[in-house]
Each structure stands twice: as structure tokens, then as C-alpha cells.
Chains A and B, each alone.
Chain A
Amino acid sequence: MGTTPYANPAVYIVEGLLVFFILYKIISARRGRELFIRRITGLSSLDEAVGRATEMGKPMLFVPGIGGLTVVGLQAMAILQHVVQRAAKFLTRVIVPNIDPIMFTISEEISKEAYNAEGVPEQFDPEDIRYLSSDQFALAAGVVGIMHREKTATVLYFGEFFAEALILAENGQMVGAIQIAGTPSITQVPFFLAACDYTIIGDEYYAASAYLSREPTLLGSLVGQDYGKLLMMGLIVIGAIAVTLVSVAPWLPGLGWLNANFLRYFLR
């Protein structure tokens, strides 16, 4: 037996459909089809957050979480690119503290390119992109120190967070920063909701780069995701009905066969 579990028929079917929806919508969006995306308050307020830091003449702080080089971390980097580009337009500094050395090099490269894209490469300060420590609480102490020393006007949290989330967000409150958080870490969402001005929850986190850039590829992928969620909802409803029928009307013809095969091929 291997060290990892392997795909079963349910994975082939569900994942195959999800991939189909996403790729199909990406292709149709790139062919020029207009796609609607609802307003996400937290992301719409990014401009307000950048503007506040610019007016106050204070730096912004972008914390890309402590998850390292994962899909969550890479999404944080995509958001960082937009944030730095907007900040560079107004010559506002963005400090990026990192826990992971690989993420540190990626965020340095992204920031440099964002300043280049805005035509102000000389404004990029390599010292604003910092590797602090690979230890969770050492990073938290370092970030809190930066907040208090630099009196950051805006703090953005995008990425994977654990126990340090509340320490960071409460200190951001103490320095009076406008705070926007976005995380797929479900357990940390309540802390961010309590301590931040805006919180982007759940899959809104993955919609951020599409929402900010409005690029057809990303928008198409976002609509494809929604079709995927519809599929999930449909499966949940069907599953709930099936389980209820098995329990209240087991005599229904074909139900036993369906249940046995579903368990055999999908849930083994």
C-alpha cells in the first residue's frame, strides 16, 4: 500500500466535471464573453486602504500568512502583486514580512516587477521585503514590532494563518491601522472578523485576483468555480434525499441496489 490515498471513481467524475467547468468558462471568457462578478466589499475597500496610507504618509503592511509555498500562498502572492502595483502608483511603501524563504524570494520578485510595471523602479526598496523567521511566534513578534515601529496605516492579511492571527490583528487595531484580512483558514476567520475592518471569507479569497484584475482568464475561472459549487450543492441535495429515503422508505424499488453500488464505487 502506498503512502498516500489514491483516487476513486467519485474523484474521477467530480474532479473531471469541475476541471471541465473551469476550463470551459476560461475559454469562453477569453473569446470575449462578458461575465458578471458581484461586489466583494473587502476587496473594493483595498483602494480606500491604499489611499489612507498615502494620505497619512505611512507605510502599508502585507502579511502573506505562514503557510509557505502552497496554492494559498501563491494566491496571496497574486493579491500582493495588485496591492503593490496600486501602492506604487501613489509612491506608498508596502512592507512584506515573510516566514518562508521561498515566499520571501517570490514576494521580492513580485514587488520589484510591480514597481517596474508602474514605471517607478527606483521606488522599490529591497529592505521592505523581509524574511523574519521560520518560527511562527518569532514571526508574530517581528510583525508586531514592525507595526509599532513603522506605525503602519494599513495592514493586509492574505494567506494561511493559525494561532498568530489574533496577535497580529489586535496589534493592528492598537496602532489604529485599517485592516483587511482574507484567509481560507476557517478556524481563524472569527478572530479576523472581530479584529479587522473587512474580512474576506471562504472562497472569496480565491476570487480576489480575478476581482482585482478583471482579466478574462481569471474571471472565467471564477464563473467555472461557481458552476462547480452548483454541482456540489446538487450532489449534497441528492445525497440527503437518498439517505432519507433509505431510512424512511427502504422498500422503494432499486434503492437498495443504488445505495450498495454508490457505497461500493464512490465511498470505498
Chain B
Amino acid sequence: MTTSTHHGLWSILWGAVVAERHGTVLALLIAGSLLVGAGILWMLMSVPTRYRKPVVMAVTFLGGLILALEFLAGSEKWHPLTDFLPTYGNVQMVIGSFALLLGIINLFMIHGQAVSKRTKGWANSLAFFVAFFAIMMAGFVKDYATAKAVSGSADSIFTVFFEGFLMPLSSTMFSMIAFYIASAAYRAFRIRSTESALMMITASILMLGLVPAGLYLTAWLPEPLSWLRLENLSAWLLVGPNMAVQRAMAFGIAVGALAVGLRIWLSLERGSFFDRQL
């Protein structure tokens, strides 16, 4: 059999797996996948740890191998695994969705107990339930209206919740950073050691170099000494010492991430899935 025939057969099989489906077929596939997933999970949980470990190790290795091969063995001319990446991402999303359900159960348990026991601040927990169900219903109504091509109030209800409540609340939290920066800067710039004195001097040069008043302070320096003007010193500090330190940190972080990734991929990391060093 020729390579092109192999490729054609692979494409047909892969196309049949990832083809878009609707209606009853889609519902049956989802139900079937849920049953198979639950079955695999039940089997994994019921076998002793010593048998579970090799399965977890094999899945971890295979998952990592796909991504490693995609990057290392692929090229712009030959990249079969790159086409597989969206499916890989979908698998991750499905697993994440199961975990999201567990997260929501946790939220319901904590806030449900606060409401039922009337603990301090239970009204906030009640507000959580009201907000949760309100935006969920608004989302469902919006999706239904979109599917039926009906526009109007469904969209506006969701917009009120999302753009009228959630976004301003997020923006409020974000804007508080301005005040926190001032208090953090006050603490950081108190001169208690050589290091903090250096930090204070450097920060002062940088800040003055970025404002017109700072530029005015050293504008009188003659051309041969122009490198001492605050805007030039400030630029040098940013692209010189600051960039060197940032890049040094980035190199160290990259090597560290590679080491941790390697340990996880080869199951050498001692973690919750392994109760002893492998």
C-alpha cells in the first residue's frame, strides 16, 4: 500500500471521528461518552493504587509525548500532529468542564451552609445564589433566542447583568490597584538599607525621567554631558540593567520550567498521585 493511500484512509477515519453532528446522534454520542467516561473513572478508582499508578503514568507520558513530538518532529512541510491539536484542546476542555461542576458543587456547599446556619454575612451567600441563577437563566434565554433567531429583550437582560454588573465590579477592583501602588511604594522607598537606598534612587531617576518637570531639571546640561540628563539615564536604566536582570530571570525560569515539566512528564515528581518516590 502506498503512503498516499495510508494518508487517505487516515483522513477518512479521522474525519468520521471528528465530523460535526447534530440532534439525536449528538445527544446519543454525549450520553455514550459520559457512560464510557464514568466507567473508566469507576474502574480507575476501584483498582488498588499500585495498578492505578502505571495507568496515570502512561496517560501523562502519552499526553506529553504528543505535544513534544508535535514541536520537535514537525516541520512546515510535515505536521500531522498539529492538525490533532484542536482535538487535544477539546479533550482538555471536556475534562475541565467536569472539574467545573465539582467547583460549583463546592461553592453551593459553602454558601448553602452559610445561608442555612445564618452565619455572619449569610446575606452575601444569598446574593451569590441570586446572582448565580439570574445570570445562568439570562444566558440560557439569550442562547435560546439566538438559536430561534429572535432578538430583543433576551439580549438586553444578559447585557445588563454582564456589562451593567460584572464589568463595573471587575473594573472597581482593578482601579483599586492605583491606591495600593501608592501604599506599597511608600513602604518600598523607606530607606532602611543600602539596597532600599539604591532602589529609591533608581526609582526617582525613572519617575523624573518620565515627567516634563524631570526633563526640565537637567535640560541645562551641555551636549557632551547629555547622557546625564534624566530622560537618558532613565532610558539606560530600563534597557540596560533592568532588561539584563529580566532576561537573566527569564533564562532561569525557562530552565526551571523545563526541569519540572520533564519530571512531571516522566512521573519523577513526587505528588498527590504518587505516595512514594518512583
Contact = CB atoms under 8 A, between A and B. Distances in A.
Decide if the interface of chain A is mainly helix, strand, loop or mixed: helix
Nearest to B189: A194
Nearest to A18: B258
Interface string A100-112: 1110111001100
Contacts of B260: 71, 74-75, 206, 221
Contact of A71 (B110, B185, B257): B257
Given A22-B262, A113-B275, A131-B106, A167 B173 contact: yes
A232 B256 CA distance: 13
Decide if the interface of chain B is mainly helix, strand, loop or mixed: helix
Contacts of B96: 101-102
B177 A215 contact: no
Interface stretch (A37-45, A50-58, A151-159, A195-203): A195-203
A221 B188 contact: no
Interface string B168-197: 011001101100110111011000000000
A51 B136 CA distance: 44
Interface in B83-103: 85, 95-96, 99-103
Interface residues of B, number: 62
Given A109-B272, A195-B187, A232 B76 contact: no
B103 A202 contact: no
B99 A213 contact: no
17 contacts: A2-B82, A3-B85, A7-B71, A71-B260, A77-B271, A101-B100, A102-B96, A131-B103, A134-B100, A135-B166, A164-B173, A167-B176, A167-B177, A194-B184, A202-B253, A203-B256, A217-B268
Interface of A: 1-4, 6-7, 11-12, 15, 18-19, 22-23, 26, 71-72, 74-75, 77-78, 81, 98, 100-102, 104-106, 109-110, 113, 117, 126-127, 129-132, 134-138, 140-141, 149, 163-164, 166-167, 169-170, 173, 184, 186, 189, 191, 193-195, 201-203, 205-207, 209, 213, 215-218, 221-222, 224-225, 228-229, 232
